[in-house]
Structures are given as structure tokens and as C-alpha cells.
Amino acid sequence: MAVLDQNLNQAALTQLARREHYTFFGLTLPYLVLVGAMIIIPIGWLFFLSFVGRDGSFSFENYERMINSKAYIRIFLTTFKISILTTFFCALLGYPLAYFMSQISRKWANICMIGVLIPFWTSLLVRTYAWLVLLQKKGLVNSVAVDLGLISEPIKFVHNTSGTLIGMVHIMLPFLILPLYANMRAIDPHCVKAASSLGATPTRAFWTVFFPLSIPGLLAGLLIVFVLCLGFYVTPAVLGGGKVIMAAMKISSNIELYFSWGAASALGVVLLVVTMLILFIASKLVSLDQFGQRS
Amino acid sequence: MADSSLNISINDVTKTYGDFHALKDVSLEVTSGEFLTLLGPSGSGKTTLLMVLAGFTSPDYGSVKFGDEEVILKPPHLRGIGMVFQNYALFPHMNVVENVGYPQKLRGISKEDTRESVENALATVKLDGLGHRRVDELSGGQRQRVALARAIVFQPKILLMDEPLSALDKKLREEMQIELRQLHDSLNMTTVYVTHDQKEALTMSDRIAVINDGQLMQLGTPNEIYRRPNNAFIADFIGESSSLPATVKNGIASIGSAKLKGAQKLEKDGNFLLVIRPEKLFIATKKSRDANHFEGVVEDSIFQGESQLMVIKLDPQNYGEQSLRLRLPNGSAQDDELPGIGEKVTLGLKVADSYFVEAANGGA
Amino acid sequence: MGFLDKNVSDTQIKLRNRLWLYFLSAIILFLLIVPSLVVIPMSFSSSQYLEFPPKEWSFRWYENYFFSWKVENGFNDWMAATRTSLLVAVLTIFVATPIGTLAAYGLTNSTSRLRAALFPIMISPMMVPIILVAIGLFYFYVQFKMVNSILGLVLGHSLVAMPLVLIIVMSALKNYDMNQEKVARSLGASRPRAFVEITLPQIKFSLISASLISFLTSFDEIIISLFVSGGDNSTITRSMFLALRDQIDPTIAAISTILIIISSGLLIISQLLSSKSK
């Protein structure tokens, strides 16, 4: 075989491969352009804006104000408190339901799933309004409780933390159940059977085999719920009645009422950074977890 | 059906994925009208080579010519090939006639001519009358035939097949092997067929190209490959065989202290393997000059229907810990006199059947 | 009872011992579904004030909604807002679905390096807190005089819908046998032709699902609409939210009832579709 200076057709083939690569990239281009123009640029802009002081020059004053102001500290605390509590209650209510759904036949599980999906597909406003109706002084909950003699006077459920929490748990619950259920369904039933055959009581088999295997789904659900809670606006705004102020509401009022873009952007940046941090940590956790699960 | 088929020239085709070499400088010539099988284990590169021929994989460099025309830069839909995939890939949203007629529709053939060619194609694969069935109403064997009909309806000059029979059960597969071969003969196409089943390759092919580790190991007729494998891998992969390690010095092969005569001239010195086909061994009643002999004890004797498989443990002093497998057709004269388990026996292997290959140590 | 002695788990727990789980799950499911339903009787209450259960019944809030364009003081033109929301939602289907589908096809067929790098960027609208997206868009639109425009709304809603389309179509393509496109190409179809004639018909249920999700996401979208729409082009969600926050107009109950019916209907359709495609 004669020795060639250049391999047969190599230049042309390399060009062909490159063109193919670009074609596929090109298909994703409209999407990327839209996301780039409408998320990356505006948020980059906001990031920049957060460093612009009231007089229009570069400054850290927006961030300084946040650290020093009692109001802002309270807002951060409230935001975290509500998010953590919501996440906790979602886990408490959602885990048993997801577990139940994963243990019954597929047919019945799908029927239950419709029950989970109906609120999910119902408008956020409708659900929030429904709780407003149910929880207020002359609402259903109070009327029934008074009629049954459980309480003598209506309890204040709305325009405070309890109302907000109830509403948010109701809205966030499907977000926890969906990934958790998917995970649980995928758990190999033979693992639990094996534990049983080896002598574990049903309770022990659950805690030592099933529960650990369900953790990735649980974590995914907790994560989604927590992150959504951090940035949540509608429900706290309506059910909190101005008494429960979360970060998103402050951002909005900064703009709508005070036109202080600097302050709003700074708070927004903080929210973004916290969100990204949590997602990042979780992504590391999840990849490690899945490694342990494959066997 | 085709007025003339084309030969295929493959030159120096190389494909790497990062560090992994899927194909290394593969060159081979497929004669016009022949049935060539690319045979190799999973991951050997045989399917990659087929995909290069089809145009779905572009090599890093190399040349593929159909006849005189260089096609390496041509996209698949302009290469004029027919292709059958392992899972048939029939279009579920079309019925049989629409599936088979699709290539004609692409070529702008009139409805009348399409109908005729589809009918012919279906008749050729023995599926007349099933035209209006939907894909999910067909059995595995029927789907296979539809995939075939679709690939030949436009009379391509080259037909490529990627393990088309692997999803069928044994009996159907063996029937289809013969049918496919007959189809090839009647259609006068050049067929390149990929399989990992060596028996299938031996049954169907004009020539076999054994591929392993992205390289062409040997190209030859089934007979050549079977009886004269180039190396230990091929000897092991094709057909049943036992192999005994031997050393060659000055043209003479020896195992332990025993000297053996080889079928071929042994020009190199070094470590070799004596490749022994089970059906070539016989039980020797007397020593003769045109055979090599091995002493041992019967370890096992298994009835396998049409043949008897015997496992003979060789004398450890001479040969080390080695066993040979011997296959005798049932019904031969030696039936009643077969030595039982534990009995001493002398095996013979004709010199003409004593074939040596280089032992694979340090090499590829 | 034999029924209660049935084994219901892999660890051979009897139904009788698990009844607590069944009851608990039933309660949780009840609490998930029923609260939303309370708006239905509310919508037929004749009272101006929120009181439950309603003392008198009437259709006045439905009239208020459907004939809102007749009101001279134009306090809340619900019909106009509904029209806006519908228009924007339909337009969102035609923006989000094609762009998302093409991107899904591109990503699925490319090498892993590209995919790993691009995917996080592409689902970023779901990851970034929506309030930020909303104010970012608002600021951006102010510069380009796109506030209160249909275009602005469609683009904003598409942004939120596209990651969902991407995920749905990518998952459909993952389950789809790409060999069919390869076969079509070997038979003489160019790549685009093979995609349109062979692949698209087979993922059509996912495309319909993706379209439905785009529609619903846009129609239900609150926060971006809150900032970015207004005046003539206010969406129904914006109007509803403002009414909720500022003063409780029971017309919201009527609108909510209608919304529940629509979204349940769409849910049933999509469940039927997904079971049909299996």
C-alpha cells in the first residue's frame, strides 16, 4: 500500500462531520436565542442594576441596606421559615400518599394520580381563592367548627402565617408527590421481598430497604418544593394579607410602589444565588446517591 | 430483477470515538453480485463498517466506492442502497403496501408502477395477499419479509443487512437463511450481511470477512476460514475447536516431548496452537504415519442426538492439564465399541487436519 | 373477613393492618381535590360578601363575567381579559411547540458533550425564580416599548412553556426508534423529509400533549402577566389576581368554576391521549 501524505478523504470528511454538528446546533438555536435574549440578558441586566445606587453610580448600598435593615432580615427569616415549614409538611403528608400509591395496583394508582393532578392543573389563583373562602372568619372551616361546637369563636386562619402555610402546602404537595411516586414505583419489589425472606419484619424491611431507596425521589421533591417556595409570590400575597411578607413580594413592591430597581434587583440577585446554590448542592448529592443505588 | 449489481471497494476506512478505535484501516473488495458476510463478536466493528457503507457513520478517513463512484461523502439517501435493520424498523403508522411503496413514493414513481413493483416485491418474499395488513398484525417472520420487500422494491444494486434474523426463533431462522440466500441468487444484487453467528455466516456466504477489534482478520470462503483460520481468535470463534499449546522450532512442532506433523509448512519459530476440530478426531486402533496421536482417558461421553460428544483428558505428563473434545456421528460402525468413562484411549488426527496458528500472546 | 386478610404488600402485610394507610391516603387525596371545589357553590351565591355556605342562589356573577363588556364604568372587563388570555395562549402554542420540538430533536441527536452543556441553559426558565424572570422581562420590555403588548406576553409565556415542551418531546424521542428515520433515509428520503414523514406522525401524541401544556401554562401564567401586561392587554390572570388582592369580587368564583371545568377537561383529554399512545 502506497504511503499517503494525507489520509484518504480526510479533509472532506472532517468538514462533513463539522457541518452535521452545526446543523444539529442550528436546530437548537431559536430556543437558545429566545432564552438568551429573554432570560440571560435581562437577568444579567438586573445583576448589573443591583450595583447601581440611588444616585445612579456604582455602589453596594442596595446590598448594605439589606444586611442592615431589620425589615429585610425579617423578610429573609419569613421566607426561609415558610419555605422550610411548607417543605416539611409536604413531606409529612406527601410521603404516605406516594407510598400508598406505589403499593396498590397500577389501575388504582392511576386513578389516585388523577386526584393529585386535578389540583396541579387547576389554576393557582383558583386554589388560593378557594382557601381564602374556606379559611376566613365566615368561611366553611370556621362555620363548621362553630356549629359542631369545637370552638366558640372563629379562628383567624387567613391574613397570617397559618393561612399562608395551608395554602402553600396544598399547592406544593403535587410537586413533592410526583417525583417521589415515580421513584417509588421504580424500586425493585424484589429488594423488599429479599429483606423479608432474610428475616426482617415488615417495618424493618421498610426502613432499612424501601425508605433508603426512596430517598433520591424524596430529595428531588423536597428540593423542588423548597426552591419554589423561596420565590413564591401569589399565595403568600393573597393569604398572608400583607402580614406575611416573603422575598418575592418585597421585590414586587419595590418596583410597583417605590420604583427602586436597585433594591429590587439586589434582593432578586440574593434570591437567585441562594436558589442556584441549593440546586447545585442537590445536583451533587443526587449524582452520588444514584451511584449507590445501581446494583 | 436488477440488471447489474455493483462491486464495493473499501479502502483504509478508519473511525475513532475519542480513544476507542471502532475501525482501523479496514480495506476490502466486495465482488459484484457476491454475498459477503461481515462476521465478528459484539463490538468488533462489523456494524460500524456496515453503517459506513450505508452512509450513517462517516469515518475519520478512508474511501468507499460503489463501482467506480466514490460515495464516502454522499448522504445515505443518495447512495441507492437497500437496507434491512435488525429490528426491521417498519413504519407502524403505515400498512404493508404503504411501507413497501414508500421508496417508490420518494422517487416519484407513478401510482400504477408503484402498485406493480410492490406486488412483485411482496410476491418475491412470499407475502402476496397481505398488503393491507397493519404492521402490528404481522408475525416476526412476516415483518422480516416486509422489511426485505421494502428494501428491494426499487431494485437497488447493493443490499445491506444488519443481523436481520437475530430476532427469530431457531427453526425460522434456519429456514430464512436458506430463503435469503435464494433471494440473493435470484435478484443478482451485491449483498453485505452482518452477523455474529458463525454458523449463519458459514451457511449463507460466498465469502466471509472476519472482523475483530475494528480490523479485518481474514477474508475467504467459508471453507477456507473454517479449515485454515489465520489466528487463534478465528480458530476459536468459528466452529467448535479445542486447541493445544505447542512450540515450533526449526519447522518442527512439539507438545511436551511428543513431536507432531503439521498440515502446513511451519516457517516461524515460537508459541503456536494446534487447532483441533472435534469432528476431525478419531479413535485410533493403530498408529499410522499420516496422523498425529494423543493418549488420554475418557472423562465424559454425552449423547447429543445426531452425534456423540466425548471429552478426553490427555495424559498430564506429556501434555499438561488439557482435554480434547471429540465428536462422533451416531450410527457409525464404532457405536458399540465406544470406550466408556475412565477407559484409556488413543486419539488420532490426520496430518492434513493438523493446523497450527500463532498463539495470541502480546499481539492484538 | 376474607377481604381484609388479603396480602397487600411484598412483605405480606395484610390489608387489615394497613387500613390506617388507606384512610390517611384517602384523607390526603380528599384534601387535595375538595378545597378547590368550594368555589363552585360560591359562584352561585347571590351575596356580595364571602360567606359560606351561600344563603341565596343566583347567576349574577356569571352574568357579571359574560356581560362585563357591557359595563359602562369598565371597572373590570373580564371578557376582554379572557380574550387576551386565549389569544396569547393559542399564540404560545405556535411559538413554544415548534421551537421546543426542534430543539428537542437537535439535542437528542447530537453528541453528549453538546447536550450536557446546553441542557441546563435550556431548562433555566424553570430553575430561575419566576419573579426574577418577570421583573427582568418588564425592565427589558420597557426599553423596547413592549410593555402591555401581546407580543411581549407571548414571548414571556413561551419562555416558561418551552422547557416543558422540551422535556416532553425529548422523552418521546427517547422512546422512539430512530432506526426508522435511518431506514427512511436509506430508502431515499432526505433527513428533513424523513423527520416530517416518519418521525413526526409517530410522536404526534406527545406533540399534542406539549401543545396542551403550552396552552395551559400560558393561560394560567400569573406573575409574568402581572408585570408585563396591563391596560388593554391585561390577561385574565392579572385581573383576577388584582381583584383577589385588592377587594374580593365574587365574580372570581364564577371564573374559577369555569377554569376548573376547562382544566379538568384538558387533564382528562391528556390522560386519554397518553393511554392511547401506549
Looking from the CA of B202 toward its CB, the CA atoms found within 13 Å total 13
Q: Which of B26, B82, B85, B156 has its CA nearest to residue B9? A: B26
Instruction: Provide, as residue numbers in chain B, all residues whose Cβ is less than 8 Å from the Cβ of A14.
Output: 60
Q: How far apart are CA A249 and CA A238, in angstroms?
A: 11
CB B89 within 8 A of CB B99: no
Instruction: Provide, as residue numbers in chain B, all residues whose Cβ is less than 8 Å from the Cβ of C179.
Output: 85, 87, 89
Residue A62 in grid coordinates: 442596595
Do both B139 and B288 map to the same domain?
Answer: no
Residue C223 in grid coordinates: 406573575
Assign B17 to helix, strand or coil: strand
Q: Is pLDDT larger for residue A5 or for residue A187?
A: A187
User: Which residue among A1, A7, A16 places its CB closest to the CB of B73?
Assistant: A16
CB A266 within 8 A of CB A63: yes
> Tell me: the pLDDT tens digits for A63-120?
888 888 888 888 889 999 999 999 999 999 999 999 999 988 888 888 899 889 888 8
Do both B64 and B213 map to the same domain?
Answer: yes
In this prediction, residue C60 has a pLDDT band, given cuts at 50, 70 and 90, of confident
Which CATH number covers residue B57?
3.40.50.300
Q: Do C187 and B151 touch (CB under 8 A)?
A: yes
Whether C97 has a pLDDT exceeding 90, the answer reads: yes
Q: What are phi and psi of C274, to 5 degrees?
A: -70, -30
Do both A5 and A95 map to the same domain?
Answer: no
Q: Structural domains in chain C? A: 1-32 (no CATH), 77-248 (1.10.3720.10)
Do both B187 and B246 map to the same domain?
Answer: no
Domain final residue, candidates B198, B227, B256: B227
Q: Choosing among C175, C183, C277, which should be mutated to test the B contact, i.e. which has the most B CBs within 10 A?
A: C183
Whether A140 has a pLDDT exceeding 80, the answer reads: no
Do both A43 and A83 map to the same domain?
Answer: no
Residue B160 forms part of a structural domain: yes
Point out the least confidently predicted range of A83-97, B127-141, B155-169, B172-186: B127-141
Residue B234 forms part of a structural domain: no
Do both A15 and A138 map to the same domain?
Answer: no
Per-residue pLDDT, B361? 59
Per-residue pLDDT, B286? 84
Length of chain C: 278
Mean pLDDT of B114-138: 89
Q: Is pLDDT larger for residue B263 or for residue B209?
A: B209
Pick the residue from chain C with its C-alpha nearest to A139: C52
Do both A75 and A150 map to the same domain?
Answer: yes
Counting the structural domains of chain B, the total is 2
| Residue bearing cell 453503517 | B51
Of B45-49, C20-24, C205-209, highest mean pLDDT: B45-49
Pick the residue from chain C with its C-alpha nearest to B107: C188
In this prediction, residue B217 has a pLDDT band, given cuts at 50, 70 and 90, of very high
In this prediction, residue A295 has a pLDDT band, given cuts at 50, 70 and 90, of very low
With contact defined as 3+ CB pairs under 8 Å, the chains touching A are: B, C
Q: How far apart are CA C82 and CA C61, in angstroms?
A: 15
Per-residue pLDDT, A293? 42
Pick the residue from chain B with its C-alpha nearest to A4: B12
Instruction: Provide, as residue numbers in chain A, all residues whose Cβ is less than 8 Å from the Cβ of C105.
Output: 27
In this prediction, residue C278 has a pLDDT band, given cuts at 50, 70 and 90, of low
Q: Do B63 and A16 touch (CB under 8 A)?
A: no
CB A94 within 8 A of CB A176: yes
> Tell me: the pLDDT tens digits for C179-197?
899 999 999 999 999 999 9
Do both B217 and B245 map to the same domain?
Answer: no
Q: Do C31 and A170 touch (CB under 8 A)?
A: yes
Do both A40 and A75 map to the same domain?
Answer: no
Q: Is pLDDT larger for residue A211 or for residue C48?
A: A211
Residue A284 forms part of a structural domain: yes
Measured CA to CA in angstroms, residue C127 lies from A39, B209, B297, C120, C160 at distances of 11, 53, 73, 9, 10
Pick the residue from chain B with its C-alpha nearest to C185: B77
In this prediction, residue A2 has a pLDDT band, given cuts at 50, 70 and 90, of very low
Whether C47 has a pLDDT exceeding 80, the answer reads: no
> Tell me: the pLDDT tens digits for B297-332?
999 989 888 888 999 988 888 787 888 888 888 876
Q: What are phi and psi of B84, to 5 degrees?
A: -120, 125
Residue A184 forms part of a structural domain: yes
Q: What are phi and psi of C273, to 5 degrees?
A: -60, -45
Which CATH number covers residue A238?
1.10.3720.10
Q: How far apart are CA C11 and CA B36, in angstroms?
A: 57
Whether A54 has a pLDDT exceeding 80, the answer reads: no
Interface contact A138, partner C, CB < 8 A: yes
Which residues numbered 250-279 in A keep a CB inside 8 Å of some CB on B? none
| Average pLDDT of every residue of chain A | 84
User: Which residue among C183, C191, C201 places its CB closest to the CB of B89?
Assistant: C183
> Cα-Cα-Cα-Cα dihedral of A190, A193, A198, A201, to 10°?
150
Length of chain B: 364
Per-residue pLDDT, C95? 96
Q: In what order do the strands lie in the sheet with B69-70?
A: B20-30, B8-17, B61-66, B69-70
Instruction: Provide, as residue numbers in chain B, all residues whose Cβ is less than 8 Å from the Cβ of C186.
Output: 54-56, 76-77, 79, 81-83, 151, 160
Do both A133 and A226 map to the same domain?
Answer: yes
Measured CA to CA in angstroms, residue C200 lies from A25, C105, C194 at distances of 20, 10, 9
Do both B205 and B289 map to the same domain?
Answer: no
Residue B235 forms part of a structural domain: no
Do both B197 and B272 map to the same domain?
Answer: no
Residue A117 forms part of a structural domain: yes
Q: Do C51 and A101 touch (CB under 8 A)?
A: no
Do both A257 and A178 map to the same domain?
Answer: yes
Do both B341 and B208 map to the same domain?
Answer: no
Which residues numbered 35-74 in A keep a CB inside 8 Å of some CB on C? 35, 38-43, 45-46, 49
Point out the least confidently predicted range of A16-25, A140-149, A173-182, B209-218: A140-149
Q: What is the pTM of this model?
A: 0.82
Pick the residue from chain B with its C-alpha nearest to C192: B77
Number of cross-chain residue pairs from A and B with Cβ atoms under 8 Å apart: 34
Q: Which of B247, B202, B249, B210 has its CA nearest to residue B229? A: B210
User: CA angle, A155 as apex, A149 and A161 as ends, to 5°?
Assistant: 145
Instruction: Provide, as residue numbers in chain B, all residues whose Cβ is less than 8 Å from the Cβ of A8.
Output: 11-12, 61-63
Assign C49 to helix, strand or coil: coil
Pick the residue from chain A with its C-alpha nearest to B11: A8
Number of cross-chain residue pairs from A and C with Cβ atoms under 8 Å apart: 263
Per-residue pLDDT, B263? 83
For residue A23, give its domain range. Answer: 1-49
User: Which residue among A1, A7, A12 places its CB closest to the CB of B73?
Assistant: A12
Do both B219 and B247 map to the same domain?
Answer: no
| Average pLDDT of every residue of chain B | 88
> Tell me: the pLDDT tens digits for B12-54?
999 998 889 999 999 999 999 999 999 999 989 999 999 999 9
Whether B239 has a pLDDT exceeding 90, the answer reads: no
Q: Do A9 and B58 touch (CB under 8 A)?
A: no
Domain final residue, candidates B203, B227, B251: B227
Do both B218 and B293 map to the same domain?
Answer: no
Q: How far A79 CA sits from the closest chain C CA (Å)?
A: 13
Q: How far apart are CA A83 and CA B54, in angstroms?
A: 57
Q: Do B89 and C180 touch (CB under 8 A)?
A: yes
Q: Do A131 and C35 touch (CB under 8 A)?
A: yes
Do both B127 and B211 map to the same domain?
Answer: yes
Q: Do A122 and C237 touch (CB under 8 A)?
A: no
Which residues numbered 44-73 in B keep a CB inside 8 Å of some CB on A? 58-63, 70, 72-73
Mean pLDDT of A227-250: 88
Counting the structural domains of chain A, the total is 2
Do both A178 and A257 map to the same domain?
Answer: yes
Buried-exposed string A152-189: b where 16+ CB fall within 10 A, e elsewhere: eebeebbbebebbbbbbbbbbbbbbbbbbbebbeebee
Mean pLDDT of B90-113: 92
Q: How far apart are CA A179 and CA A183, in angstroms?
A: 6
Instruction: Provide, as residue numbers in chain A, all residues whose Cβ is less than 8 Å from the Cβ of C121.
Output: 32, 35, 40
Q: Which of A209, A276, A208, A246 has its CA nearest to residue A71? A: A246
Per-residue pLDDT, B364? 32
CB B354 within 8 A of CB B260: yes
% of residues, chain B, pLDDT over 70: 96
Do both B93 and B191 map to the same domain?
Answer: yes
List helix spans (H) across C109-178.
112-122, 124-127, 130-143, 150-174
Q: How far A287 CA sits from the closest chain B CA (Å)?
A: 24
Q: Do B60 and A20 touch (CB under 8 A)?
A: no
Do both A146 and A246 map to the same domain?
Answer: yes
| Residue bearing cell 502446513 | B264
Q: How far apart are CA B361 and CA B57, in angstroms?
A: 33
Residue A154 forms part of a structural domain: yes
For residue B246, give its domain range. Answer: 240-358
Residue C272 in grid coordinates: 386519554
CB C271 within 8 A of CB C98: no
Do both A97 and A243 map to the same domain?
Answer: yes
Which CATH number covers residue B250?
2.40.50.140
Residue A287 forms part of a structural domain: yes
Measured CA to CA in angstroms, residue A171 lies from A128, B140, B188, B232, C42 at distances of 8, 49, 68, 67, 20
Whether A294 has a pLDDT exceeding 70, the answer reads: no
Residue B364 forms part of a structural domain: no
Per-residue pLDDT, A24? 85
Instruction: Provide, as residue numbers in chain A, all residues whose Cβ is less than 8 Å from the Cβ of B14.
Output: 7
Whether C164 has a pLDDT exceeding 90, the answer reads: yes
Q: Which of C103, C200, C115 has its CA nearest to residue C159? A: C103
Mean pLDDT of C124-133: 89
Length of chain A: 295
Per-residue pLDDT, C117? 81
ipTM of the assembly?
0.83
Do both B79 and B219 map to the same domain?
Answer: yes
**What is chain C's percent helix, strand, coil content, to nearest 5?**
75, 0, 25
Q: Do C32 and A252 touch (CB under 8 A)?
A: no
Residue B174 forms part of a structural domain: yes
Q: Do C137 and A43 touch (CB under 8 A)?
A: no
Measured CA to CA in angstroms, residue A54 lies from A61, A255, B259, C42 at distances of 8, 14, 101, 47
> Tell me: the pLDDT tens digits for C223-271?
999 998 877 788 889 888 888 877 677 888 888 888 888 888 888 887 7
Q: How far B97 CA sits from the closest chain C CA (Å)?
A: 15
Per-residue pLDDT, B2? 44
Do both A7 and A114 map to the same domain?
Answer: no
Residue B305 forms part of a structural domain: yes
Do both A15 and A132 map to the same domain?
Answer: no
